[in-house]
Amino acid sequence: MNKKLILILACTLFLSACGSQTVTQAPTATPTPKLVEMAMTDRPKISLTPRQDGHMLYLKINKISGNISQIDYELLYDAGDNGAQIEKGLSDTIKDTSADISRDLLLGTESCTSGCKYNYDAGVTGGTLTMTFTTKNGQVSTFVTPFTLNSTADIKKSGEIKLPTENFSVKPKVKLTGSDYFLIMKNFLGGYTVFSSGTNTLAGDYPQQ
């Protein structure tokens, strides 16, 4: 093979190698949401009121700031199942926010294929509510609170409704009557709140002024 042919082949291989090279572009990093504490003046009012039978909780979020673009919530609770306690829960993401939002949180399951049938979870005495608020500029604030769910009979027996993890309890000032359900949790605006399925003097914000 003559020198001229060898030179042509060498140049061809060199150019071919150069043409086959690819440039790998570094992946674009996804910005991490900034976790901040929401100012007290921007915090919405959150309520979690039990239904008369204690099988549903009515979640209400009022006075939501116009800067909030998304709200995520998660409700976790322990329920009885054949003598054992198992953790159950429900969650959702709310993107179409307005000043006031409400959700009905069923403590159990429902089937509405041919008329609605409900299977309620038994032995629910409390759990945890977690709420995450995302602002339009990507900041994230969270609110986590334990809650206790008691019937009138439960409170009559123990003499109080209590948040064990918070070491906080409320005792009725007058004798309870009827068959209401009560729920106590931390208040996003400070202190604690007792919600009632009926009209009862035990319901309200604590510590009382």
Give me the pLDDT at residue 5, please: 43
Per the CB < 8 A criterion, the answer to whether 72 and 92 are in contact is yes
| Ranges under pLDDT 50 in the chain | 3-20
Give me the pLDDT at residue 29, please: 55
Give me the pLDDT at residue 90, please: 95
Give me the pLDDT at residue 97, please: 80
Give me the pLDDT at residue 170, please: 96
The model's pTM is 0.82
Measured CA angle at 93 (ends 206, 192), to 5 deg: 5
Q: Where are the beta strands (DSSP E) in 4-138?
A: 34-35, 45-50, 56-62, 68-81, 84-94, 101-106, 108-111, 117-120, 126-135
CB atoms within 10 A of CB 59: 18
Give me the pLDDT at residue 6, please: 45
CB atoms within 10 A of CB 197: 23
* Alpha-carbon distance values, 35 to 30, 31, 136, 141, 170 (Å): 15, 12, 13, 6, 33
Give me the pLDDT at residue 26, please: 56
Give me the pLDDT at residue 2, please: 52
Measured CA angle at 99 (ends 97, 100), to 5 deg: 90
DSSP class of 110: E
